[in-house]
Amino acid sequence: MGETVYTKDHEWLVIVDGVATIGVTEFAQEQLGDVVFVELPDIGALLTEGDEVAVIESVKAAGEINAPINGTVVAVNEILADEPELLNRSPEEGGWMFKVTLDEDYDISELMNKAEYQDYIAVNA
């Protein structure tokens, strides 16, 4: 099991054998409120860091998810289409959003580990 790393946009990534599973954090789901729709990328989509890749719609507003890293989408969590509220219930496990195969020279040195992320939300919450 790879280590979990975090972005400033409140996404988490777990990287195993060059494939990153990506979702949003508990903090993000709390901020979003009741999720009613999740728009996921197409499988095969090529992502460049910073691209809008997914949208999480809550009752009140739409939240955009930007690609945290370069790569190719290889899987999306189909369950979220019928059960978007899973993203509220289990954002860091069952509510994962999509998987990306990373380019060989991927770089996550800018991302935070768990302790750093917790400090980050404590300051920015």
Partner 1 sequence: MSNASDVKHTKFYDYHVEAGGKMVPFAGYLMPVQYAGGIMQEHLHTRDKAGLFDVSHMGQVVVDGEGAVAALERLVPVDLEALAIGQQTYATFTSEAGGILDDLIITRWSEHCFFLVVNAACKEQDIKHLRKYLGDLEVTYLSGQSLLALQGPKAKDVIGELTPEANELLFMNGFHTVIGGIECYVTRSGYTGEDGFEISVKDENALALADQLLAYDEVQWIGLGARDSLRLEAGLCLYGHDMDVSKSPIEAGLNWSVSRSRREGGSRPGGFLGSGQILKHLADGVAKKRVGFLIEGRAPVREGAEIVDNQGNVVGVVTSGGFAPSLQIPIAMGYVNTEFCAVGTTLDALVRGKNRPMTVVKMPMVPQRYFRG
Interaction site with partner 1 (CB under 8 A):
33-34, 36-37, 39, 55, 57-62, 81, 84
- We find the least distance from the C-beta atom of residue 36 to partner 1, in angstroms, to be 4
The residue written with tokens 């728009």 in the block is 39
Shortest approach of partner 1 to residue 23 CB, angstroms? Answer: 19
Closest CA to 65 of 28, 94, 100: 28
**Least Cβ distance, residue 67 to partner 1 (angstroms):** 15
Q: In angstroms, give the least distance from the CB of 38 to partner 1.
A: 9
Cα 57 versus chain centre, distance: 14
Judge contact between 5 and 112, C-beta under 8 A.
Answer: yes
Smaller CB separation from partner 1, 84 or 91? 84
Which residue in the block uniquely carries the two structure tokens 């400033």?
A: 8
Calpha distance 112→54 (Å, rounded)? 21
Q: Which residue, 2 or 37, is less far from partner 1 as judged by CB?
A: 37
